[in-house]
Homo-oligomer: A and B are copies of this chain.
Amino acid sequence: MATPLILSRRDVDFLLYEWLNVTALTARQRFAEHSKETFDAVLDLAEELATDKFAPHNRLSDTDEPRVVDGVVRTPAPVRAAIEAFAQAGFLSGSADEAVGGSQLPTTVHRAALLWFQAANVATTGYLGLTMANASLLMEHGSAEQVATWVPALLEGRFLGTMCLSEPQAGSSLADIITKAQPQPDGSYRITGNKMWISGGDHELAENIVHLVLAKIPGGPPGVKGISLFIVPKILLDDEGRLAERNDVVLSGLNHKMGYRGTTNALLNFGEGGHRPGGAAGAVGYLVGEPHAGLAYMFHMMNEARIGVGLGAVALGYIGYLHAVEYARTRLQGRLLTDRRPDAPQVPIIEHSDVRRMLLAQKSYVEGGLALGLYCSMLVDEHRTTTDDTVRRRASLLIDVLTPIAKSWPSQWCLIANDLAIQVHGGYGYTRDYPVEQFYRDNRLNAIHEGTHGVQALDLLGRKLSMDGGAGLMVLIETIHGTIAKGVAAGGDIAAAATELAAALDRLTAVTARLYSTGDPALTLANATVYLEAAGHLVVAWMWLEQLLVVGDRTEPFYAGKRHAARYFFRFELPKTKAQFDLLDSLDTTTLEMDTSWF
């Protein structure tokens, strides 16, 4: 069997080495043990493992979804084998500190490696992504004892992790969670409540599950200011860290989803008496950090997770694109407009201009999205390791402003790429004999979880851009202007693209000022999602200009493809923002004035 199409190593190399120059990070102390060779080895290994252990059961993850048998969640055998292989290869601890057994890889390289797994089998990778986020949060905010107790097991894959935020009555609105945490004389807490949408919430894929649970300590402040964070293991540990008694965390039911089916998604009951650890009521939980500070800890993790969601959307868009190109090169159908004689041979459909349009659109979305995700990851590395306070401050502001875009833009446009991949395949793409319909279904989740599209829009316009007197917006504008200046200096087509981007940036700047000038939050935010989408297209056009600068005047097919995808984006995509800026500039009130009785 040929190597499956998963991701383009050539493109990843281009972005990491020719554009972002990740090798320069090895000059920093944290990454001093690394080199281009170690980075390459990690990427090689990711491709190999994803190909051998993840891709082969991707369809099985979809068709044979987790089910409850005798109270136990059953998953197909290859899932566990893949998780173990991933852990053994050290990917779980790839970017973690050496002190906890990690490899101290730059986040950028680690994230790039993870793309292969996300593309090859997003459902199995889901368990691993959550576990890494869980460990990462504990390393950042847990006590030394908590880190020692839980983190090594998580990074070795012996335990897997979850994030328990939502409740049935509180999805996006975390202020309304009602799960309670009652303090105990021994310093632990007893947790009672129900948590919804818990990915990896129950399974037998590891020895234990470490739930990170948001709950309220009675007597705390109302709303989000009264939320605390707890470690609630499925199985309690004894004093020597060995698996002991079952905690009172009980599976209430599994959710059956449109896609992403292989990742168990559960409703969990905490402390409803299914078990009584130590003979008392409630699930045992351990407070992380300070009381009432849980949401801040969670969002610290969530912001990095959102960049990861965006990259997951890119990965699925990318694998779909590669399949579409392969299909279009091999599928014979129809004739050229220039030779329609019925006895002329049929041509590969890639010869039809509309098929090329659909492939170019996909290419511009997935390569643009990938550039954005890796750029943001590089900012995370910069922020973590720079010794220059100004650089750190700028990186922090850019991360804040770009995160809602890095999460939402690929979730929207790489999903459209998946839709176009189906369309390129025609009727075959609509069948489950080809993988593209699954890629679509899997990817559809990304605009919903970790903050919906609408939530990202409010985060961007309602919070991130106005923070610190608009410092984030200013840094973003300055940074993009820097690229534009280089583009203008480059001349030719690159300068033309730079000029287009400059015009769009001027409009964004003016429109943002106008929106903030209203003094009426409802009016400012009435079309926040339109703003998010316009800003997203502008930012991705910037990513394309950045790539064009690296391409320069090189003419090899890879570079010619980059140049042409950029051309597509500047001619077919960026102009879409004009109508969006017009609408925003008009302070349109259509959504506000729609009476609910009129629907």
Instruction: Spell out A's residues near B (CB within 8 Å).
Output: 166, 169-173, 175-176, 196-197, 222-225, 255-259, 325, 329, 332-338, 341-343, 346, 348, 350-357, 359-360, 363, 422-423, 426-427, 429-433, 437, 440-441, 444-445, 447-449, 452-454, 457-458, 521-522, 525-530, 557-558, 560-561, 564, 567-568, 571-572, 575-576, 578-579, 582-583, 586, 588, 590-599
Contacts and interface: CB of A to CB of B under 8 A. Distances in A.
Contact of A595 (B448, B522, B560, B579): B560
Contact of A257 (B431, B582, B592): B431
27 contacts: A171-B426, A172-B334, A176-B346, A197-B427, A223-B341, A255-B427, A257-B430, A258-B422, A258-B431, A329-B596, A337-B521, A353-B526, A353-B527, A353-B591, A427-B448, A427-B449, A429-B448, A557-B598, A561-B598, A564-B594, A567-B590, A568-B590, A571-B583, A571-B590, A572-B588, A572-B590, A579-B579
Contacts of A359: 594, 599
Given A431-B258, A432-B256, A325 B599 contact: yes
Contacts of A171: 333, 426-427
A392 to B, nearest CB: 32
Contacts of A595: 557, 560, 564
A88 to B, nearest CB: 32
Contacts of A343: 222-223
Contacts of A457: 354
B571 A360 contact: no
Nearest to A222: B342
Contacts of A458: 354
Contacts of A593: 564
Contacts of A223: 341-343
A591 B172 contact: no
Which 7 A/B pairs are nearest by Cβ-Cβ distance? A223-B342, A561-B598, A575-B579, A354-B454, A258-B437, A222-B342, A353-B591
A592 B353 contact: yes
Given A568-B590, A595-B557, A433 B351 contact: no
Contact of A557 (B334, B423, B597): B597
A557 B588 CA distance: 21
- Which of A325, A426, A445, A447 gathers most chain B CB within 10 Å? A426
B599 A560 contact: no
Contact of A350 (B432, B525, B596): B596
Chain A interface helix/strand/loop/mixed: helix
Given A571-B588, A598-B561, A430 B448 contact: yes
Contacts of A333: 170-173, 176
A332 B257 contact: no
Nearest to A321: B599
Contacts of A432: 256-258
Contact of A452 (B173, B356, B426, B592): B426
Nearest to A457: B354
A255 B572 contact: no
Contacts of A444: 422, 430, 437
A170 B225 CA distance: 63
Contacts of A360: 590-591, 594
A591 B356 contact: yes
- Which of A222, A457, A598 gathers most chain B CB within 10 Å? A598
A175 B457 CA distance: 49
Given A257-B432, A588-B571, A599 B350 contact: yes
A194 B560 CA distance: 42
Given A258-B441, A355-B454, A360-B591, 10 more contacts: A171-B333, A175-B342, A196-B427, A223-B343, A337-B522, A360-B594, A427-B449, A430-B445, A557-B597, A576-B576
A335 B522 CA distance: 12
Nearest to A355: B454
B423 A448 contact: yes
Nearest to A522: B337
A453 B423 contact: yes
Contacts of A526: 353
Given A522-B337, A575-B579, A590-B571, A596 B351 contact: yes
- Which of A357, A592, A594 gathers most chain B CB within 10 Å? A594
B575 A430 contact: no
Contacts of A255: 427, 431, 433
A448 B430 CA distance: 8
Contacts of A521: 337-338
Contacts of A222: 342-343
B598 A560 contact: yes
Contacts of A445: 430
Contacts of A449: 427
Contacts of A558: 598
B357 A591 contact: yes
Nearest to A326: B599
A256 B441 CA distance: 15
A329 to B, nearest CB: 7
Given A528-B354, A561-B598, A576-B579, A433 B256 contact: yes
A329 B259 CA distance: 26
A258 B426 CA distance: 12
